[in-house]
């Protein structure tokens, strides 16, 4: 071998070694790779990871980043971006049209309508102040009351409220104990459906709703102090009408009229507050209803599938891998995304919001807010990671943004599927690795 050839090969080896170990700006790919290689916890299940430099616009490290994972509530990031593209500064509450002595109105899917936390009341005020006869059109929502692939045996759990065109008070009943140790239910209209049942013997005091209708039963035992339980109610046109009548203290009649192109819109609350409520506590109900609000704005109908298809075709058609996206919340295990597609989405979100502080204020913040409040510790009081979590049985993910001690702004997607151990064990290891990246670089 000639001296020239030897020097050339040596240079090539050096370049390859550099590419494998150091990313421009001082982030050592080899060190990050080592964290995964020597992690016993990350060896016993399917793990995907992607780390991207937002300033230099370069991928730093990938592990199974082109493989599809069940995202769970990471799906809400796709819903969030779609809403940023399709909705304005405020959420539409109602569509309406005046017809002689009548006011016909249609639901938009607005999740803030009398929501227990968001308290959107503009739509309600508009109806209450009208001197016309009120007619609620039931012609609008075209999907099922559950999303595609949802677990039907979770119907009694707070996180799986049914989807409707005009939700009221989160579509969830609140069961609680009053000062006299009596069981109460809110909205109070539902109290007529709440009864004790001598044949119901749960291991602890718990209220259960019948799957097909609003019959709530509880065991014959003392209600424990501080008892509180949220149960989705069974939605129906009849129940929506009764709740509206009960709240408005006036008559509301049903009609079956298609939405007119001439219909006007009443807006409820600022969209930013709704997005924050969706992302920080990971509210499934809000995520699903927001897609309906998008459909109302774009198509004058309420159809989740249409919005997802439109978003994929017009906003997400340049992502690196095919999306299998079926609902707004991530409750379905039929959703499948790759870590590198989520990285591309995070870039789109950042470019759409533009202001980092505003974006971070809506996301769960490690050691401070939302689903990451108790997962991370701050760095001397400073938050360094803002990310959407995603959790289903045997699956736990985090995707979002991290700022290192040296000020590097990074996007990451860390996905874990099919583990059998405790979620805490997986989460703690993820936190360890992400904290290492923050401190080291």
CA distance linking residue 127 with residue 159, whole number of Å:
29
Q: Is residue 1 part of a domain?
A: no
pLDDT digits (tens, 9 = 90+) for 9-28: 444 444 444 444 444 456 88
Domain that residue 147 falls in = 80-293
| Domain shared by 285 and 303, yes or no | no
Is residue 15 in some structural domain? Answer: no
Residue 26 is predicted with a pLDDT of 67
Split the chain (441 residues) into runs of 10 and give each run's mean pLDDT: 49 46 66 92 93 96 98 98 96 95 96 92 95 93 92 96 95 97 96 97 97 97 97 96 95 92 92 97 98 94 96 98 98 98 98 96 98 97 98 97 97 98 96 97 92
Shared domain check, 244 and 139: yes
Same domain, 298 and 288: no
Q: Quick one: 399 and 351 in the same domain?
A: yes
Judge if 412 and 370 occupy the same domain.
yes
Let me know whether 339 and 249 are in one domain: no
Nearest-angstrom CA–CA distance, 1 and 392: 59
Q: How far apart are CA 436 and CA 441, in angstroms?
A: 8
pLDDT of 371: 98
Residue 142 has a pLDDT of: 82
Task: Look at residue 135 in the predicted model and tell me its pLDDT.
Answer: 97
In a domain, 9, yes or no: no
pLDDT on residue 70: 98
Q: State phi, psi for 413 to the nearest 5 degrees.
A: -135, 120
In a domain, residue 226? The reply is yes
Vertex 140: Cα angle to 97 and 122 (nearest 5): 50
Is 300 in the same domain as 372?
yes
Query: Is 130 in the same domain as 250?
Result: yes
Where a domain ends, among 250, 265, 293? 293
Q: Which of 248, 263, 244 is nearest to 104 (CA)?
A: 263
Strand, coil or helix: 440: helix
Does residue 53 lie in a domain region? yes
- 60 within domain boundaries: yes
Number of structural domains in the chain? 2
Which CATH number characterizes residue 311's domain? Answer: 3.40.710.10
pTM more than 0.75 = yes
Return the structure tokens found at 350: 């950042």
Residue 74 sits in the same domain as residue 100: no
User: Residue 97 in contact with residue 104, Cβ under 8 Å?
Assistant: yes
Q: Are 222 and 343 in a shared domain?
A: no
């Amino acid at each position: 071998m000639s001296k020239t050839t030897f020097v050339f090969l040596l240079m090539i080896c050096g370049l390859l070694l550099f590419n494998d170990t150091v990313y421009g700006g001082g982030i050592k790919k080899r060190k990050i790779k080592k964290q995964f290689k020597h992690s016993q916890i990350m060896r016993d299940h399917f793990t995907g990871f992607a780390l991207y430099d937002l300033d230099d616009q370069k991928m730093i490290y990938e592990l199974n980043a082109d493989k599809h994972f069940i995202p769970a509530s990471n799906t809400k990031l796709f819903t969030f971006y779609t809403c940023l593209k399709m909705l304005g500064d405020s959420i539409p509450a109602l569509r309406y049209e005046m017809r002689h002595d009548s006011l016909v109105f249609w639901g938009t899917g607005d999740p803030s309508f009398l929501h227990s936390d968001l308290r959107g009341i503009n739509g309600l005020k508009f109806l209450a102040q009208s001197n016309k006869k009120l007619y609620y059109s039931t012609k609008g929502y075209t999907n099922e009351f559950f999303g595609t692939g949802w677990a039907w045996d979770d119907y009694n759990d707070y996180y799986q409220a049914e989807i409707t065109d005009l939700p009221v008070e989160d579509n969830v009943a609140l069961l609680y104990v009053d000062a006299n140790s009596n069981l109460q239910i809110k909205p109070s209209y539902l109290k007529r459906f709440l009864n004790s049942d001598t044949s119901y013997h749960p291991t602890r005091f718990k209220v259960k709703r019948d799957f097909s209708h609003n019959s709530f039963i509880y065991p014959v035992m003392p209600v424990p102090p501080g008892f509180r339980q949220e149960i989705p109610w069974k939605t129906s046109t009849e129940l929506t009408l009764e709740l509206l009548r009960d709240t408005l203290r006036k008559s509301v009649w049903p009609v079956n009229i298609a939405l007119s192109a001439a219909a006007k819109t009443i807006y409820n609350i600022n969209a930013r507050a709704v997005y924050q409520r969706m992302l920080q506590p990971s509210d499934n109900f809000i995520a699903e209803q927001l897609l309906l609000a998008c459909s109302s704005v774009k198509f004058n109908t309420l159809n989740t599938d249409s919005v997802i298809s439109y978003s994929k075709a017009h906003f997400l058609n340049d992502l690196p891998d095919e999306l299998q996206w079926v609902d707004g919340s991530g409750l379905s295990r039929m959703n499948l995304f790759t870590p590198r597609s989520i990285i591309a989405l995070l870039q789109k979100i950042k470019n759409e919001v533009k202001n980092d502080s505003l974006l971070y204020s809506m996301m769960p913040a490690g050691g401070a807010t939302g689903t990451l409040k108790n997962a991370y510790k701050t760095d001397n009081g400073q938050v360094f990671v803002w990310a959407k979590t995603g959790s289903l049985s045997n699956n736990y993910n985090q995707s979002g943004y991290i700022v290192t001690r040296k000020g590097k702004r990074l996007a990451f997607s860390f996905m874990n599927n099919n583990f059998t151990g405790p979620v805490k064990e997986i989460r703690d290891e993820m936190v360890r690795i992400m904290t290492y990246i923050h401190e080291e670089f």
